[in-house]
Structure 1
Amino acid sequence: MKQKSNARENFLQRRYGVRLGRRYAFAAASVVLMGVIGCPQLGNNTSAYAQTSQPRSESPMSKQPSSPETKLVNANTKFGFKLFSEVLKNESDRNIFLSPSSVSLALAMTYNGANGSTREAMTKALELQGLTLQQINSSNAALKKSLENPAPEVKLSIANSLWANKEASLNRDFIQRNQEFYTAKIANLNFKDTNAPNTINQWVNDNTEGKIPKIVEKIDPDQVLFLINAIYFKGRWSDEFDKAQTSDRPFYLISGQQKQHPMMSQKGDYRYYENQQFQAVSLPYGKDGKVSLYIFLPKQTSSLKSFYQNLSAENWENWMTQFSKREGLVRLPRFKMDYDINLNNALAALGMSEAFSNKANFSAMGKNLKISEVKHKTFVEVNEEGTEAAAATSVGIMPLSARVPSKEPFSMIVERPFFCTIRDNRTGSILFMGSIVEPRS
């Protein structure tokens, strides 16, 4: 048996270039980056080899009821709005663009290594109550398969990777779950090599079509592992904006000042919703409109600050049921931006502070490990042809509403700060969300 075990371990080392054991753990990143740093005393545990297996050829959902997947979508939505609210506390005066799905995926992979009170804290922060680890993993696998490349005119790709220091020894079950359910690329690097960050960044660059060229600046000597999730989206509008209709018009900033900015204009039939506080419109991508950009514009009698006070998962689900087909005019600013943020403080505020401290328990990955950093980067460009974005994915399910032809045509002039999301309409997943206070092109 010992000979057979050694043969398997040698095979895995040759295949993945990582020693698999119980000594060290990993961290996550993607458009989210997480680093795990080992604490001072690391015990010399017996190395354990991983029983790795190929990703399932069929979706795990074929053996699971649909309810766990729906619960995970709802959890991701709740977590996404909570995270956005925390980021907003310190960044309300600047443009924000997050991928709650990317953060959720990176933390879900990390969650596979958590135990004890650290796992309990992450469960609450990520809104995963009532879901088993098996349900979380199988639902993420099914959602990834469902979300990717929904239509010929829409490209959505999700990639995961795990980069371990050559000295790292990783728990076999932790490795197996991340490979099987998240199809993570497993790689070994010498973190002391000055080229190690370049190798990781090249993978991120390749999997975001060059939109996020770098996520690791340097590697700390104590760093053990990075887990990276990258998401790339590109979609053409169902009806492209006519460039000839684009012209410089005033956009009114929070300060009350105005700036001239390229504004795209279009008339047509849209899924639309309006109440006393805001107007909202869904701008679909592709022929089938499986994914849309949602714009929420506070009315002149209200404000973006007031809108955010009512932005919650519960209200969001209610708003989604209120959209109906209606004729109207949409005038939207062209915009393009890069965004990056360290999410440690925001996640700590949501109850995950233990995961960053010396009290952290990631014993399902290895011993004496904690998260060092959660770093998030995004890119988005909205123009007459469509939208290109790099970062993350979030999920939820909502049917299209029937058309209500009796109402008068609406006019929605997005000439002041607004909130937007990119949403998968089949599952209800929120892929990206942003606060645009000053569009730039």
Structure 2
Amino acid sequence: MMNRQPNLTCALFYLFLLGSCDWIGGEGEPATPNLRVLQAEEQEMVVSSSRFAMDLFHQLQKSEDVNQFFSPYSIHQALSMAINGNEGEVLEEFIQVLRYGGMGVEEANEAAQSLTKFLLELDPKVRLSIANAIWYKQEWEVHPEFEETVRNSFGAEVVGLDMGNPQSVNVINNWIEQNTEGLIKDMLDAIPANAAMYLVNPIYFKADWKYRFNASNTREAPFHVSPGDEVAVDMMRMEEAASMRYFSDGGLEYLEIPYSTGQYNMGVIISDEFDLDDKLQDFSFEDLEYWRENATEANFILQMPKFKLRYKMEKMNEDLMALGLEKPFYPSPMNFTKLFAHPTDPMYISRVIHDALIEVDERGSEAPAATIVEVSYTSVGPHQPRVFALDKPFVFLIQDKHSGAILFMGKLGDPSLLN
């Protein structure tokens, strides 16, 4: 079952977390960030991904789940791979929902590649990984252009898979597990008979706090759920005040808790009353940008809960449709026209699955997540050749195929009257 209620410490964490393609970091390496000026298309990619994150955040808040945690970046990446298999009106829906209005698909693909490289090299003390893979029905042939794009821009493995073999589900699950340090397991329950393709994106993050908590200071303390309701948690506490970026606006307070060199942080938003949901109803990416730009350094002795949270969405279809991505979820010959090199039955996204986990303790944070986009085709049974019966009167002609000249023409209306 899904758990969903705003836990902004968790939800907004991934607004600041972006990925890379390989492992980075090591205890012996110097903690010096590798900074450079972002290219224009990289900045556009960050804006697109962040706007999508805010859209999805607000959509998920419409449920009554108590806690939630997800990676909008992982979901954005998986759908960004899928966008390359579409054209026309379906493509326009992807562009709108993924917030790619400021650039074309080719620019977005190039930005995904270069931004990934930048993030990979950003902080040598942060373990950060993102991987992409695509499995397709092995009897079919992937469109060469699509395969080239996802390999070059997303570093995706593209592999044929026997969708009818019950063991094939383990191929996908094991790969996800390997790319999330063994933490996301058995994500896919089964492969349906009409599955055509799986587009998969796992992401993994692990980093130490810049200012660590001493475990001996952790004590059981109350966490106030509502004015008259509290629960006991393991509350971590810093021994000394540390400098963090802080902003306050309209009863809301924003704090950036830095990891490692400070290039990554956990952003948290809290209300001075028990009205966080109400105050954040109209919260936008522009608001977040303003807060980040205007935050100033301040000294705090931080107290925060030690916690571990897993959140799985078995089917995100309705949430994504509510954001405007509708056509790809209904079988249509207009969907995924650039996915395969041959005609197929009408295809559609049958499921988008997302699984995420975060553990926060005195040392830092560890957070894996994965997204699966399952593309299926309409199951209409095996194709049988049409029986074309000349069992009634018909006209016939003898003609030249090349020129179109008709040499003879006739009609057969009653064979019994022939000789």
Q: Same fold (TM over 0.5)?
A: yes
CA distance, structure 1, for counterparts of residue 227 and residue 131 of structure 2:
40
Q: 1:238 aligns with which of 179, 189, 210?
A: 210
Task: Check conservation: 1:116, 1:361, Cα contact below 8 A.
Answer: no
Q: 1:201 to 1:299 in 2, by over 3 A?
A: same
CA distance, structure 2, for counterparts of residue 159 and residue 100 of structure 1:
15
Q: 1:109 aligns with which of 68, 81, 91?
A: 81
Is 1:308 aligned to residue 286 of structure 2? no
CA distance, structure 2, for counterparts of residue 254 and residue 183 of structure 1:
46
Task: Check conservation: 1:100, 1:392, Cα contact below 8 A.
Answer: no
Shift of 1:254: 3.8
Q: 1:73 aligns with which of 4, 22, 46?
A: 46
AA aligned to 1:304 is L
Task: Check conservation: 1:264, 1:333, Cα contact below 8 A.
Answer: yes
CA distance, structure 1, for counterparts of residue 364 and residue 258 of structure 2:
9
Q: Can you list the C-alpha shifts for 1:181-222, whole angstroms capped at 9, x where unaligned?
A: 111112222111111111110000000001111221000000
CA distance, structure 2, for counterparts of residue 311 and residue 149 of structure 1:
31
AA aligned to 1:352 is L
Shift of 1:321: 1.0
Q: 1:212 aligns with which of 184, 199, 210?
A: 184
Q: 1:167 to 1:255 in 2, by over 3 A?
A: farther
Q: Can you list the C-alpha shifts for 1:293-338, whole angstroms capped at 9, x where unaligned?
A: 11111112x5121232132111111111121111122110111011
AA aligned to 1:320 is R
The percent of aligned pairs where both chains have the same amino acid is: 30
CA distance, structure 1, for counterparts of residue 120 and residue 251 of structure 2:
34
The DSSP-based 3-state class of the residue aligned with 2:164 is coil
Aligned length: 327
Is 1:386 aligned to residue 364 of structure 2? yes
Q: Could you state the TM-score of these two structures normalised by the residue count of structure 2? A: 0.75
Q: How does 1:138-149 map to 2 (within 5 A)?
A: 138-148=110-120
Q: Which runs of 5+ in 1 are unaligned?
A: 1-64, 394-441
Q: 1:157 aligns with which of 116, 129, 132?
A: 129
The DSSP-based 3-state class of the residue aligned with 2:325 is helix
Q: 1:364 aligns with which of 317, 335, 338?
A: 338
CA distance, structure 2, for counterparts of residue 85 and residue 250 of structure 1:
28
Shift of 1:149: 5.6
Is 1:278 aligned to residue 256 of structure 2? no
Shift of 1:392: 6.8
Corresponding residue of 1:176: 148
Corresponding residue of 1:119: 91
Shift of 1:71: 1.2
After superposing the two structures, state which structure 1 stretch, 145-154 or 187-196, moved more.
145-154
Q: How does 1:50-61 map to 2 (within 5 A)?
A: none
CA distance, structure 2, for counterparts of residue 88 and residue 240 of structure 1:
31
Corresponding residue of 1:199: 171
Task: Check conservation: 1:101, 1:392, Cα contact below 8 A.
Answer: no
AA aligned to 1:294 is G
The DSSP-based 3-state class of the residue aligned with 1:279 is strand
Q: How does 1:182-193 map to 2 (within 5 A)?
A: 182-193=154-165
Q: Can you list the C-alpha shifts for 1:54-81, whole angstroms capped at 9, x where unaligned?
A: xxxxxxxxxxx92121112111111111
CA distance, structure 2, for counterparts of residue 372 and residue 85 of structure 1:
23
After superposing the two structures, state which structure 1 stretch, 121-130 or 147-156, moved more.
147-156
Q: How does 1:327-406 map to 2 (within 5 A)?
A: 327-341=299-313, 342-359=315-332, 360-366=334-340, 367=344, 368-391=346-369
The DSSP-based 3-state class of the residue aligned with 2:61 is helix
The DSSP-based 3-state class of the residue aligned with 2:198 is strand
The DSSP-based 3-state class of the residue aligned with 1:271 is strand
Shift of 1:158: 0.6
AA aligned to 2:57 is F
Q: Could you state the TM-score of these two structures normalised by the residue count of structure 1? A: 0.71
AA aligned to 1:160 is N
CA distance, structure 1, for counterparts of residue 251 and residue 76 of structure 2:
30
Q: Can you list the C-alpha shifts for 1:12-70, whole angstroms capped at 9, x where unaligned?
A: xxxxxxxxxxxxxxxxxxxxxxxxxxxxxxxxxxxxxxxxxxxxxxxxxxxxx921211
Task: Check conservation: 1:149, 1:156, Cα contact below 8 A.
Answer: no
Q: Which runs of 5+ in 2 are unaligned?
A: 1-37, 372-419
AA aligned to 1:280 is Y
CA distance, structure 2, for counterparts of residue 230 and residue 168 of structure 1:
25
The DSSP-based 3-state class of the residue aligned with 1:309 is coil
Q: Can you list the C-alpha shifts for 1:268-310, whole angstroms capped at 9, x where unaligned?
A: 2111112232222111111x2110011111112x512123213
CA distance, structure 2, for counterparts of residue 95 and residue 207 of structure 1:
25
Task: Check conservation: 1:69, 1:140, Cα contact below 8 A.
Answer: yes
Shift of 1:256: 3.4
Task: Check conservation: 1:69, 1:139, Cα contact below 8 A.
Answer: yes
Corresponding residue of 2:413: none
